[in-house]
Amino acid sequence: MNKVEEFFERVISVKWGPQKESVDIIDQTLLPGTIKRIQLQDKEGIWEAIKSLRVRGAPAIGVMAAYGMAVLAKEIKTDNYEEFLARYKEVTDYLATSRPTAVNLFWALNRMLRIVKEGGHLSVSKIQDLLFLEAEAIREEDVMISRNIGEIGFELLKNLKKEGQPVGILTHCNAGTLATAKYGTATAPMYIALEKGWAGEDMHVYCDETRPLLQGIRLTSFELGNAGIQTTVQCDNMASVLMEQGKVDIVFVGCDRVARNGDAANKIGTNTLAILARHYGIPFYICAPTSTIDMAAADKTEIPIEIRDPKEITETWYCERMAPPGVDVFNPAFDVTDHALLTGIITEKGMCHAPYDEAFEAIGL
């Protein structure tokens, strides 16, 4: 097992707890200083872990929801199908309130609910067994989805490689292995590059610090550094300097929801990056599993934006409060990048270009 595979094993975002009686996650709020795994087996703990970003990243949230529902369904003690369905739907609706923007949460919950709805002719115990199988299938599919995205992104990196110079990559927030089942989305091209024989020095990844929860500096740099990839952290408002100096060849970012027209919601600050990339002529790609594409949302106006606790800005990451008491705080977790600013959207089914609604339909959405 090579260094990267060893790292993947060490920081699996979501896995089964002992005897599959709980969901085992790495608590991402403690990274990079502490690598701690916790086991969750009640609905309140699973809800809190999603809400507080102990587990985060749209694909990982989907896996968490699937694993969580399988574990929670096992705790519904009844042999009556109608009673089981009613109680199962109550738990589904409860978990759905944890995060509003990441469409994978609802996608996974609905996919698991479909197993229950289609199992009316089966025993409750058989349905419970099928839920565990479906949850595992969701995870395995996510691994392949990320790998496929990485293969497409790697082809872009190969075209940018110059003799004696690393390819300069900018990424925002964390769309890495911690945010998925394995390779990540925006980081997948980098990990695939390592698998294909590139050295860590063949790439130079610039990680935005990323407000509000500093997920770039805490998580992405932690990941890439441990994988041996040359990594530099900078505050979000420094990206234009790097671009002006010619140090950025390409931008890869993840997303939590993509509308039918290609408008893409990602961690706050992504839209700013896209505007800068357009100004400096740098290709800008959204890495999006098809499960994050919401064909029911026509455009950015139909994507809900989560507003988070002001304390994440004023005091969470400081020894003392940094803002004066009583000052107002604007703390949206996401912004939406206009589709016109994108070079393309990389999905596991292929590269999509504008007009995105037609491109999405062409890949079967």
* DSSP state at residue 324: P
**If we measure between CA atoms, which residue out of 287, 63, 53 comes closest to residue 190?**
287
Q: Compute the chain's Rg from CA coordinates.
A: 20
- Phi, psi (degrees; rounded to nearest 5) at 153: -65, -35
Contact 205, 232 (CB under 8 A): yes
Distance from C-alpha of 67 to C-alpha of 290, rounded to nearest angstrom: 20
Q: What is the 3-state secondary structure (H, E, C) of 159-191?
A: HHCECCECEEEEECCCCCHHHCCCCCCCCHHHH
Give helix 58-74 / helix 81-95 axis angle, nearest 10°: 150
Determine the residue type at 307: I
Residue 206 pairs with which residues in a beta bridge? 170, 232
329: which 2 tokens?
């705080």
Among all chains, which residue has been given the structure tokens 């959207």?
345
* Beta-carbon count within 10 A of 161 CB: 14
**If we measure between CA atoms, which residue out of 246, 224, 229, 250 comes closest to residue 156?**
250
Burial class (CB in 10 A: 0-12, 13-18, 19+), 352: buried
Q: Is 244 helix (H, G, I), strand (E, B) or coil?
A: helix
Contact 193, 202 (CB under 8 A): yes
94: which 2 tokens?
């409860």
Contact 128, 74 (CB under 8 A): yes
Distance from C-alpha of 98 to C-alpha of 48, rounded to nearest angstrom: 7
CA dihedral over 63, 177, 362, 353, signed as positive or negative: positive
Which among 256, 263, 335, 357 is annotated as catalytic? 256
Annotated catalytic, 256? yes
Q: Which residues participate in catalysis according to the annotation? A: 256
